[in-house]
Amino acid sequence: MKIIDRLSTGIPKDVSSTCPRNIFPEECDHQSFYHYFVLAQRYLSDIITNEQKINVAHACKFLIYWIYKFVWNDDIYNKNISNFYEQIKKGHDNKDICKIYMEYIDEKTYGYIQKLIKLDSDLSDLPTSHNGKECSIAKTCFDSYMNYEDTCKGEDNKNICNELENFRIKYNVAIKSVNNCADEHKYLPSFQDSPIVPVSVIPIIITSVISLILIISCKFTPLGKWICPRTKRAKNGTKKINHEMNKSQHTPGYQDMPYLVSYQSPNPF
């Protein structure tokens, strides 16, 4: 049985007394909130149970992201993530296995993550498109990237800009296989004044979350039913991009790309 099926089994349709009404008096009246509340409890329980066998950091970061996306992404809910986490960890001897990762994602970072996921998703369509839409996809990727030019001025958004630089590199490799498109969409310029800071120096939460969406969602969250087909297609596109990048390693211009961030993280489950 798939993990998502196991986690979802037995969640009642009616609101149960396990939903903490003293903390969420209005939210508990909504079936969607209660469903995700119980699912989050079970998710956290699985993390704790399998602590020695999984990548806890990746799993916890995804949990925080998941709470933002599915639980708080609605105006009827308040956005007190700490309260929500404190409630779902009850019954586990109050073990704070994920609490240290709470600060890694806030609303601003969540917004950037969503935009970066969209960029990556659009790019994954480029190598696999053979229906005359290549130029349209390239233009979408190009225009979306160029909207971030002001974002990378200064040092406030260094991690985000590092990920944009990684996207730029992948786009410039992928676009080589696309012909007959406008030259102005051919290559993306860099927004960085200096080379990408190594991942070992600045942890990039964005990369972890994007990786987890592709790795965990198919088997561990309600995203599975619709994201799996996209993952297969994205994986095929990524293989083609990686093949082209490997071929270009010994060509002029490759030396200005010393730090390529892999989107294939260790499997957290």
40 CB burial (10 A radius; 0-12, 13-18, 19+): buried
The reported pTM is: 0.61
Asked if 36 and 63 count as a contact pair (C-beta separation under 8 A), the reply is no
Average pLDDT along the chain: 71
Low-confidence ranges of the chain (pLDDT < 70): 1-4, 13-17, 73-79, 93-94, 128-131, 194-269
* Residue 262 main-chain phi, psi, to 5 deg: -75, 140
Q: What is the pLDDT of residues 127-154, one digit of tens each?
A: 766 667 888 889 999 999 999 988 888 7
Q: What is the DSSP string of 122-153?
A: HHHHTTT--SS-HHHHHHHHHHHHHTTTGGGS
